[in-house]
Amino acid sequence: MKEYRYKNILHFGTLQFDGNHIEYFRANTEKLIVYYVMPRKGKEPNRVRFYLKGNLFDEKVFYSPDNFFLCYFYLYFNFLRILYWYFSRKEKFYIICGHPLFSFFKGTLQIFRKYELVYFVGDYYPGYSLLNIIYRTIFNYYHKQIKYRLYISDRLNKIINGTVIDNEHIKTIMWGVKPPKKYATYTGGLLTLCFIGTIRETQGLKIVIELLRTKKDIKVKILGPCEERLFIKYKKLIATYKIEKQVYFPNKFFNMEQLEKETAECHIGVALYDVIEAPYYSDPGKVKTYAQLGLPILMTDAAQVVKYIVKFNAGEIVQEHIESVVKGIELIKGNYQLYIKGLKKFNNYFNYKSYYPERFSFLESAK
């Protein structure tokens, strides 16, 4: 009989890249409950899945309203239902989540359910809009009260705590990757860039579109959703430059299985973030997705993961202008197998099967 590393866990999940958290915990947890919280105005509803010894035992779909206040009311209401449905008063379990909403009334709930909250902090919002200020105020209040705190990068760990803390209960855990069975290959000729994820103006996509005007031996696949205003803007730009045949832009969400098919003939993953954007404090899922798909990475110096890309030579770090981006592309083209070798080292370092057990060892105490 298999001995499971963890006993009971409730993990908040997403259908987007999650560093293979759910796959890891599904394989190593006797009873795993996953509460999938989707974007408020997305097409996919929230849901809960119950895995028993790695097998899907039950699934429920929840009503997901677009209204801001109703959305958060139902998120919390369904959270309470999950606690009642799947856990008894005697069971000890951990809840891994990344939003302060689920810290509300924690002391009261712990009278009826025996759990510890693990706050996995995945982002930092430095802006001064009213919503950002309210969010940070709530976050700071609850964050200090929680024993188990995880951070997606040392930068995030430091800006929140004043210094990088690394002990049994408070530490940095970056996204893990699943090394691909097959890495990309390039032997010359037409080169295809790949852009994955939700599209925003601060992600340098305009630079990619503009360089195609003169680089007719380059194509790009844009694999992610875009708000209508921005989609129209980019489509007009593509038509103006007469590069329609070089751009694939369906404007929709792709899951990991679909991405594997769509990127089978791609060569470089592109992440040209604005260097003052929020990814500075995070570990962009886009970058780890490229690595997991076997694509060398071309990105700006906008996140801590850059030091690992440089360390292992898994890609090129460029500046936010066409000349630098073109130079980075040419360097990867000219030494493609060298970058693939570096990418394999990068993936080996972040392999979720070897990276997570030591970092999540504190969860074993719930047995």
pLDDT mean for each 10 residues of the chain (367 residues): 90 87 96 90 84 96 89 94 96 94 93 95 78 82 90 93 94 96 94 91 86 94 91 92 94 88 96 76 92 96 94 96 94 97 98 96 81
Q: Do residues 117 and 234 share a domain?
A: no
Q: Do residues 151 and 200 share a domain?
A: no
CA-based R_g, the chain, Å: 21
Residue 365 lies in a domain: no
| End-of-domain residue from the set 123, 141, 173 | 173
Residue 75 lies in a domain: yes
Residue 145 lies in a domain: yes
CA separation, residue 67 to residues 70, 72, 130, 225 (Å): 5, 9, 18, 21
Q: Do residues 31 and 83 share a domain?
A: yes
| Confidence (pLDDT) at 139 | 85
Q: Do residues 151 and 196 share a domain?
A: no
- As for how many domains the chain has, the answer is 2
Residue 354 lies in a domain: no
| Confidence (pLDDT) at 365 | 76
Structural domain of 277: 191-349
Helix axes 322-334, 336-349, angle to 10 degrees: 90
Residue 304 in contact with residue 311, Cβ under 8 Å?
A: no
Q: Do residues 16 and 102 share a domain?
A: yes
Query: Nearest to residue 104, comparing CAs of 139, 129, 133?
Result: 139
Residue 87 lies in a domain: yes
Helix (H/G/I), strand (E/B), else coil: 94 = strand
Q: Do residues 44 and 145 share a domain?
A: yes
Residue 179 lies in a domain: no
The CATH number that applies at residue 112 is 3.40.50.2000
* Locus of tokens 């509300």: 104
| End-of-domain residue from the set 141, 173, 205 | 173
Residue 361 lies in a domain: no
Q: Do residues 26 and 64 share a domain?
A: yes
| Confidence (pLDDT) at 15 | 76
| Cβ-based burial of 5 (10 A; exposed 0-12, middle 13-18, buried ≥19) | middle
| End-of-domain residue from the set 111, 144, 173 | 173
Q: Do residues 202 and 166 share a domain?
A: no
Query: How far is 15 from 28, CA to CA, in rounded Å?
Result: 20
Q: Do residues 167 and 252 share a domain?
A: no
Strands (E), 138-296: 148-151, 170-172, 191-196, 218-223, 247-248, 268-271
Q: Do residues 249 and 168 share a domain?
A: no
Residue 278 lies in a domain: yes
Q: Do residues 52 and 134 share a domain?
A: yes
Residue 308 in contact with residue 349, Cβ under 8 Å?
A: yes
Q: How big is the chain, counted in residues?
A: 367
Q: Do residues 206 and 160 share a domain?
A: no
| Confidence (pLDDT) at 125 | 73
